[in-house]
């Protein structure tokens, strides 16, 4: 029994004094942390880029409505125009939901914070709050777009709040006054 303990002690002593493979051990310990950091940074960059492109697409579309290039704003033609400007938005027409609300500036009522997004599990046509407005009315256009995370199991892609089917939602808002073109 004592011989066995001495043998184990000698082998462990030799093992701990050995320096071969120490760089590999450092690499194995550090690799998951570095991969987590770079995965989160990549996901954050993609999320920011998508948010900027979505906001630009909504602003450019609203500008076209304001100056009369889109004289009759409908859900379909606004969605098409936003998707044209936001060409990097994947499956744009399926993952985009628009909400247009008329706001009375003299009797201000804040729109709700909850923005309707696409429900991927719902196969029917949802009821959409879309009021194109009349001349000289203040309109608020809110757009919700769903995006699948690039890295859904790592870093930011794992932690970001999900909406529908594992996708996260980005919301862009713009307002304008309907000009009397008619």
Evaluate if pTM is beyond 0.85.
no
Query: What is the SS3 assignment for 160?
Result: coil
Please name the residue that has the structure tokens 């450019």: 60
Domain locations in the chain? 22-177
* Predicted pLDDT at 52: 94
Residue-wise pLDDT tens digits, 128-177: 666 666 667 788 888 888 888 887 777 777 777 777 777 888 889 888 88
Residue-wise pLDDT tens digits, 60-113: 998 888 877 877 778 888 889 999 998 888 888 888 888 888 887 778 777 777
Burial of 1 (0-12, 13-18, 19+ CB in 10 A): exposed
Please name the residue that has the structure tokens 């690499």: 27
List strands edge to edge, sheet with 138-147: 96-103, 138-147, 168-177
Query: 143 - beta bridge partners?
Result: 98, 172
């Amino acid at each position: 029994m004592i011989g066995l303990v001495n043998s184990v002690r000698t082998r462990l002593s030799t093992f701990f004094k050995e320096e071969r493979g120490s760089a590999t051990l450092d690499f194995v310990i550090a690799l998951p942390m570095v991969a987590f950091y770079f995965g989160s940074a990549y996901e954050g960059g993609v999320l920011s880029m998508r948010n900027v492109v979505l906001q630009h697409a909504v602003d450019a579309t609203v500008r076209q409505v304001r100056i009369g290039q889109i004289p009759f704003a409908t859900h379909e033609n606004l969605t098409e125009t936003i998707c044209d400007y936001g060409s990097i938005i994947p499956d744009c027409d399926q993952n985009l939901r628009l909400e247009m609300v008329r706001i009375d500036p003299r009797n201000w009522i804040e729109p709700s914070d909850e923005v309707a997004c696409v429900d991927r599990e719902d196969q029917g046509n949802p009821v959409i709050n879309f009021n194109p407005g009349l001349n000289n009315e203040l309109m608020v256009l809110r757009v919700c777009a769903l995006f699948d995370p690039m890295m859904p199991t790592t870093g930011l892609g794992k932690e970001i709040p999900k909406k529908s089917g594992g996708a996260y939602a980005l919301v862009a808002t713009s307002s304008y006054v309907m000009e009397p073109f008619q």
